[in-house]
Chains A and B, each alone.
Chain A
């Protein structure tokens, strides 16, 4: 059985304009040691899905469905029980390393906290473990840095510290929500590689969230493509890049600049903007921007069809989407 099994997960946010379904009927599972990539445009509900797993959604929200972690449904847990799980068995790294550390505590203090909280370490043990962790995440001079305040560190260093905090209790699953979006490109690769190495060596599972297909393709075993809160395509990474099926995935891929692409080759743009969550069609959320959309798309949610073994796409017009070239779809 999988380590993590998510069934029909929906997140409904109450906003001033009415309820907004930020995540709709998400299904996925994650085995021990596997990496899953969640990809999609800004605002498609990736962070909301991650926060739902952690039980950290805003108060004015409702989560329905089932999140089975190690056989237990996390949605039925009390907040006190979730505090035992968070940071200990499920850890998360956030997008903004600049603001994810508390400015009034030293870096060392912040790494030692979870060690004391979950592993009941004494101050001395926690301190030497902190130095080991800092060394582990590639901080060159842990002894000096440990007593520094966050504002004295660079963005890359801070993200390494965040990773050290996340790793401190050897979690089963690490959720990295766009861990490199705020960093510059050279640092991005180093951080991703660090996460990869640590995940492999510690035998953790990883959920890597990104809007960058390139990052996802290089770092994951399985992919979940999200649009407007729902999963439009899922499958093994190699399989999906072998054949992109859903019109949205095709558009997303074609919109990505590629090295070595013939000069003068044009980048594709998907027309329209990310939909307003409140006024989404009841059927396929991509309807308004999809070149293949018909009436059935607007009103009936498309079922996830297993196109090839373990490669699912949720679209009413799968055959047409497969037969047409991407350039024809978005021209």
Chain B
């Protein structure tokens, strides 16, 4: 949790740049940098939402029926925070795509000949006025991917929450 406090002090892209600067540019390294940055975000979220579920009455009722901490964690706490975690995962997935694009744009991410939307944007920059479509297509691709993932998150939450899914 201390480490997560540290990582919250820096914006996502900045710390990813920092890490790739330390590890050196490259596809795998930028994935590591973005992934490592997201771990504490999940740790925070999981701990916070799990703690709030632990104080709920049905947890007390489950304990009163003789369940141990381990069983309660997996049978009562996890199902109740799963939708939050999944939604967060899709949002962070979208943010990670943006971060990768940014890293590649700066030349810290995927190296040629591996293709990358971010680097496409970078290379299209010089040709911006000759052939603007070269910049627009990867831009649209990034936007659609991010938007799609957000929609996926919303959809999953509706499916996973019995209170919402029944009402439709």
Binding site for B on A (CB under 8 A): 54, 56, 79-80, 83-88, 91-92, 94, 96, 99-105, 113-114, 117-118, 149, 151-152, 162, 165-166
Contacts and interface: CB of A to CB of B under 8 A. Distances in A.
A83 B60 CA distance: 13
A117 B70 CA distance: 13
B162 A56 contact: no
Nearest to A79: B68
Given A149-B163, A151-B162, A151-B163, A100 B58 contact: yes
Contact of A149 (B64, B67, B162): B162
Contacts of B65: 86-87, 91, 113-114, 117, 165-166
Instruction: Give me the 8 closest cross-chain CB pairs, A-B, nearest first.
Output: A87-B66, A87-B65, A86-B66, A99-B57, A92-B64, A104-B79, A102-B58, A100-B61
Contacts of A87: 64-67
A117 B66 contact: yes
Given A105-B79, A149-B163, A100 B57 contact: yes
Interface of B: 56-58, 60-68, 75-76, 79-80, 161-163, 166
A114 B61 CA distance: 11
A114 B163 CA distance: 24
8 contacts: A91-B65, A102-B76, A102-B79, A104-B162, A105-B79, A149-B166, A151-B162, A151-B163
A105 B75 CA distance: 9
Given A104-B79, A149-B162, A94 B66 contact: no
Nearest to B160: A104
Contact of A91 (B56, B57, B64): B64
A162 B61 contact: yes
Contacts of B67: 83, 87, 113, 117
Contact of A118 (B61, B62, B66): B66
A84 B61 contact: no
A147 to B, nearest CB: 11
A83 B67 CA distance: 6
Contact of A56 (B60, B76, B80): B60
B61 A94 contact: yes
Given A102-B80, A105-B79, A86 B64 contact: yes
